[in-house]
Amino acid sequence: MTSRSQYRQLADTLRAAIVRGDYPPGSQLTSEPELAEQYGVSRPTVNRALAILSNEGLVRPERGRGTFIHELPVMARAAVQRYARPEREADGQARGAFDGEVRRLGFEPRSELIEVGPVVAPGDVAEALHLGAEDVALIRKRHMYASDVPVQLATSYVPWTIAGGTRLTEADTGPGGTYSRLAELGHPVARFTERVTVRTPSPEEEDFLRLTEEQKVFSIFHLAFDQDGRPVEVTVHTLPTHQWVLDYAWPIDPS
């Protein structure tokens, strides 16, 4: 192919160099003007090549500073195991599942509770939880980090008729987390569904996850049903696609 564009060729070259390890993770890439001269192309062409690598999550350009090699490897989210009881109760905290996922890779997990309290849930959440236009839900919004790098955003909703006045409205939900409290409240969770989509991040997600508008995120709409088949909890997870893989497992004919 004579006609692979220059910016793609340059992107390929630089990608190979990064993967090969010529630039260690976290280090600074050669500046755009220098690359332009080295490879005999114009600066906009270099910029376009770097935009590709940026969208792939391989580098992080920062205006005024330079372009840096992204450091975090890919993490795996095990959708099924993470909701099993042993995993949740591992260290007496609700964040057991995320902790394991991150620690397994040698990083230090951290969660911040950003918001907790009664709210009117967004349309799709309200619909899933069978909430009317007036009904209120408990929101629990968390920011999650791996070694201080933001990696995930999770927002949970529980109908206020269930959660109101319980420990679910407190910062620390106690051993086993939300699902253990729901069980104590007469709503033991029996079944989950998840819907996975890929989309561009919202401005808020861009900001927290340090993404550009061209990068993509997984949006996971997680719904829990109790033994009576009543939907009792929704969590919306947002994860950069270049940072995560999703694992699922199930028996045939689960019925």
CA-nearest of 239, 214, 198 to 52 is 214
The answer to whether residue 105 forms part of the interface with DNA (CB under 7 A) is no
Q: How far apart are CA 235 and CA 214, in angstroms?
A: 25
Binding to DNA by CB under 7 A, coded x per residue (else -) over 54-93, reads: x------xxxxxxx--------------------------
Of 194, 202, 210, 230, the residue at the interface with a copy of itself (CB under 8 A) is 194
Q: Residue 207 carries which side chain, given as an amino acid letter?
A: D
Q: Does 247 bind a copy of itself (CB under 8 A)?
A: yes
Out of 200, 204, 207, 228, point to the residue binding a copy of itself (CB under 8 A).
200
Q: Which is nearer to a copy of itself, 39 or 192 (CB)?
A: 192
Residue 22 in the binding site for a copy of itself (CB under 8 A) = no
Whichever of 55 and 202 has its CB closer to a copy of itself, that residue is: 55
- Cβ-count burial 75-102 (b if 16+ within 10 Å, e if not): bebbbeeeeeeebbbeeebbbbbbbbbb
Told to check if 246 binds a copy of itself by CB under 8 A, we report yes
From residue 141, alpha-carbon distances to 58, 153, 192, 239 in Å are 28, 8, 20, 14
Q: Which of 15, 51, 120, 149 binds DNA (CB under 7 A)?
A: 51
Per CB under 8 A, 15 contacts a copy of itself: no
**Exposed, middle or buried by CB within 10 Å (0-12, 13-18, 19+), for 26?**
exposed
Report the candidate in 78, 87, 77 with the shortest Cα–Cα distance to residue 249: 78
Cα–Cα distance measured from residue 29 to residue 18, given in angstroms and rounded to the nearest whole number: 9
For position 29 contacting DNA by CB under 7 A, the verdict is yes
The smaller minimum CB distance to a copy of itself, of residues 37 and 213, is found at 213
For DNA, how many residues bind (rule: CB under 7 A)?
29
Minimum CB distance to a copy of itself smaller for 144 or for 239: 239
In this structure, how many other beta carbons lie within 10 angstroms of the beta carbon of residue 141?
17
Residues 136-155 that bind DNA (CB under 7 A): none
Minimum CB distance to DNA smaller for 62 or for 184: 62
What is d(CA 5, CA 51) in angstroms, rounded to the nearest whole number? Answer: 14
Of 53 and 75, the one with the shorter C-beta distance to DNA is 53
Chain residues that interact with DNA, rule: CB under 7 A: 2-3, 5-9, 29, 31-33, 40-45, 47-48, 50-51, 54, 61-67
